[in-house]
Structure 1
Amino acid sequence: MLLDGDEWRAMLRGFQSEAWRLEALPQYLVPQESGELEAFRDGKRLDPHAYSSTYTEDLKRLRGEGKRKGRVHIVVRPLSEYLQFEFSRYYAPHVIAGEDVRILDVTDRENPLPDVRDFWMFDRSTVVLMHYEDDGTQIGRELYVGEPADFLEYQRIAIAESVPFMKYMKSDVRS
């Protein structure tokens, strides 16, 4: 089943305890981000402590309700321009607001999840496969029909092999 529009928004809002994502691409082409990406290219940066958006406010609300959102992004250095943008524009404010963002840097080691593609998992039971063109343009979301055991294992490995975003940003391995 393909998810779009209201069905997708309901999935993102309707989880009971945890929404978790694995990201594996070096860039995502999101038309709504084009202006912000241009500002980033022009050297404009935001203060992640002062930044507020619908997403960060939602993260704070979820945390207050005892719910969790998290993700692991698999990266290879040097970081793409998009990842540099995403790290400063989204990840830093999202971590401050309560999201558990982690980085799995596979530059100098074997990727423990070599064939795993992007997905969301909700409440450790519902998996949505994210489909992208090679350039990072999203072309669909598909509700996975089957047992989530493999995806639970992917999550376990990704978390065990990654580091918290803020720790990654403080290290000198990003260059």
Structure 2
Amino acid sequence: MLLDGDAWRAMFRDFHTEAWRLETLPQYLMPQEEAEIQAFRDGKRIDPQSYRSSYTDRVNRQRAEGRANGRVRVLTRPLSEYLRFEFSRYYEPHVLAGEEIRILDVTDRENPLVGVQDFWLFDRSTVVLMNYGPDGRQISRELYEGDPAPFIAYQHIAVTESVPFSEYVSG
């Protein structure tokens, strides 16, 4: 079953304990980010301390409610332009809002998640596969109807093998 609109938004509204994402691509081409990417290219930066968006507001509220948001970003160096943008425009403010963002740098090591596609895992029971084209354009979001156990294992590997975003960028 493909998820869009209200059904997709409900996943983030209705989870009980955790919404978690695995990100594996060097870039995502999202039309709603075009203006922000251009601002980044033009040298315009944000203050992560004062940046607010509906996403950071939601993460902050959910953290106060005892619900967790997290992700692991798999990457190789040098960072793509998109990753540099993502680090400066999203990750810092998201961490400040309460999202646990971790980095799995596989530049000088074997990728323990090779071949695993992007996904969201909600409450360790509901998996949504994120389907992208080779250029990073989103094709669809698909509710996975099989056993979530492999995705729980992928999450464990990703978290165990990664470091917190703030540690990664300071090192």
> 2:53 aligns to what?
53
Determine the C-alpha separation between the residues in 1 that align with 2:120 and 2:24.
Answer: 12
> 1:86 aligns to what?
86
In structure 2, give the amino acid aligned to 1:59. Answer: V
> 2:17 aligns to what?
17
Deviations 1:150-172 (A, max 9, x none): 0000000000000000100101x
Deviations 1:45-90 (A, max 9, x none): 1010111111111111001100000000100000000000001100
> 2:147 aligns to what?
147
> 1:169 aligns to what?
169
In structure 1, give the amino acid aligned to 2:75. Answer: V
Determine the C-alpha separation between the residues in 1 that align with 2:59 and 2:4.
Answer: 22
In structure 1, give the amino acid aligned to 2:92. Answer: A
> 1:97 aligns to what?
97
Q: CA deviation at 1:13?
A: 1.2
Determine the C-alpha separation between the residues in 2 that align with 1:58 and 1:6.
Answer: 16
Determine the C-alpha separation between the residues in 2 that align with 1:139 and 1:29.
Answer: 11
Unaligned runs of 5+ in 2: none
User: Which aligned runs of 4 or more in structure 1 are off by greater than 4 angstroms?
Assistant: none
Unaligned runs of 5+ in 1: none
- SS of 1:73's equivalent in the other structure is strand
TM-score, normalised by the number of residues in structure 2: 0.99
Q: CA deviation at 1:146?
A: 1.1
Q: CA deviation at 1:11?
A: 1.0
Q: Percent identity?
A: 67
In structure 2, give the amino acid aligned to 1:36. Answer: E
RMSD, matched Cα: 0.5
> 1:35 aligns to what?
35
Deviations 1:6-39 (A, max 9, x none): 1101112110010000000000001011011001
